[in-house]
Chain A
Amino acid sequence: MTDPNELNDDELMAELAAAVEEEAAVSDRRRNAARMAFTWRTVDAELAELLHDSALDAGAAVRSSGSPSGAPRTLTFVRGAITLEIEVDGDALLGEVVDDAGAGPATVTLQRPDADDRSVEADASGFFRFDGVEPGPARFVVTREGWSLTTPWATI
C-alpha cells in the first residue's frame, strides 16, 4: 500500500472518504451491544485462559464439511489446577470440571449478555450439562468451596 505521504491530496481525500463511510456503516444494534458490554466489567474475577478451541484447529472447517457428522466443537479453559472442558453439541453444552487438587461439589453458571444466568451443579465426577443454549456470546463461572473461576467470553 502506498504511504499516505506519497498520496496527492485528491487520493488522500478518496481514502478518507472510504474511512469515514465505514464509520457510518456501524449499526446502532452493534453500538448498543458494545456499550452495554461495559456492565460486565469485573475488577477482581479470576480469569481462566482459553487453552484450546477445536474450531481453530488447522483445517477444522474443511474436515468437518467432509464428514457431515463432524466432531462437536470442544473448548478447554485452564486456571492453575482447574480445567474446564466444554463440548458444544447442537444446542447442548456438555462440560466437565477437572480439579487436580481433588473433587468436591461445584456449581457452574452459564452467563449470556442478554439473558439471566443459569446455574447447574456438577455431578460427583465433575460433569454437567446445559440444554437449549442459543448461539451467541457466553462465559462460564465455576464456583467451589475455596475458589471460583471465570472463563473468557466466547461465541458459541
Chain B
Amino acid sequence: METTDPLATLVPAAREGDQSAWNAIVDRFLPLVGAIIRRHRLSEADGDDVSQTVWLRLVEHLGALREPDALPGWIRTTTRNECLRVLAARSRTRPVDPQDSGGLDAVAGDVADTELLAAERRQALREALAELPAGRRELLLLLLTDPPLAYDEISARLDIPIGSIGPTRARALEQLRRTRALRGLGPDPVGGVV
C-alpha cells in the first residue's frame, strides 16, 4: 500500500489487519497530528505521548470508522482534545507562576479554530498532491525543493525538456485545484465534528 492510495482503500485494509495500509495512513496524517501538537506548545515529551495516544486510539477506532473520509476530522478532533487533556493534567503537577503572564495562557489556551483550519488545509494540499499523477507530483516537489533546483537539473532528473517545465507546472497546478481533496475545501473545509 502507498500513501497515495485513497482512504477508501487504506482504511478497510488497515481494519483487516494490513500493516502496510496502516503505515500509509500514519505517514499521511503524522504531519497533521504534529502540526496540531505544535500549535498547542506542548513539550517534546508530552507531544510524543499525545501523538502515540492518538494513533493507539485510532487503532481501536478503525472498526467504528465506517466513512473513511471522516478520518481527517476524527484525527484533528482527537489530537486537539488529547492536547487539551495533557495541558490541563500537567498544569496540576507543574503550578504556573501567576507572575508569568504568558504561562497561564499557555496552559489554559485552546488553539484558535483558524489555526486548526490552516493545519487541515495543509493536509488537504498534501492529499491533493497525492492525487496527482506521479509525473506531475514529482515535478511540483522538485520545484518546491529548498534550495531551489535549476531547471536543467529538473529537466535531467525527470527526463523532460526544459521548455516543458513551465507549462507542465501550470497544468499540474490546474489539475491540483480540481482534485477531490481541494474541491472538498468549501467555506468550512472541516465539516462536522466527529
The interface of chain A, by Cβ under 8 A from chain B, is 1, 3-5, 9, 12-13, 15-23, 25-27, 29-31, 33-35, 37-38, 40-43, 45, 47, 53, 55-57, 59-62, 64-65, 68, 70-73, 88, 90, 113, 135-137, 139, 152-156
**Is B125 a contact of A155 with CB atoms below 8 Å?**
no
**Is B108 a contact of A59 with CB atoms below 8 Å?**
yes
* Complex: A71 Cα to B93 Cα, angstroms: 10
Q: Mark B115-135, 1 if CB is under 8 A from A, else 0.
A: 001100111011001000000
Interface flag for B194 (CB, 8 Å): no
Given A12-B177, A55-B88, A113-B52; 17 other pairs, CB 8 A cutoff: A1-B118, A13-B140, A15-B122, A19-B122, A19-B123, A20-B129, A20-B141, A38-B14, A53-B85, A55-B86, A64-B88, A65-B91, A135-B46, A135-B49, A136-B49, A137-B56, A155-B85
Number of interface residues of B (CB under 8 A): 67
Interface flag for B107 (CB, 8 Å): yes
Q: Which residues of B contact A135 (CB under 8 A)?
A: 45-46, 49
14 interchain pairs, CB-CB under 8 A: A1-B117, A16-B176, A20-B126, A22-B126, A25-B31, A30-B34, A34-B26, A35-B19, A38-B19, A40-B56, A65-B96, A70-B92, A135-B45, A155-B89
Q: Mark B129-164, 1 if CB is under 8 A from A, else 0.
A: 100000000001101101000000000000000000
Q: Is the interface of B mostly helix, strand, loop or mixed?
A: helix
* Complex: A104 Cα to B47 Cα, angstroms: 39
**Is B59 a contact of A56 with CB atoms below 8 Å?**
no
Q: Tell me how far the C-beta of A76 lies from the nearest C-beta in chain B, rounded to whole angstroms.
A: 14
* Cβ 8 A contact of A62, one of B55, B82, B108: B108
Q: Which residues of B contact A34 (CB under 8 A)?
A: 26, 30, 51-52, 55
Interface flag for B63 (CB, 8 Å): yes
**Is A33 a contact of B48 with CB atoms below 8 Å?**
yes
Interface flag for B11 (CB, 8 Å): no
Q: Tell me how far the C-beta of A67 lies from the nearest C-beta in chain B, rounded to whole angstroms.
A: 9
Interface flag for B8 (CB, 8 Å): no
**Is B89 a contact of A73 with CB atoms below 8 Å?**
yes
Q: Which residues of A contact B55 (CB under 8 A)?
A: 33-34, 37
Interface flag for B23 (CB, 8 Å): yes
* Cβ 8 A contact of A155, one of B49, B92, B122, B182: B49
Closest to A150 in B: B60
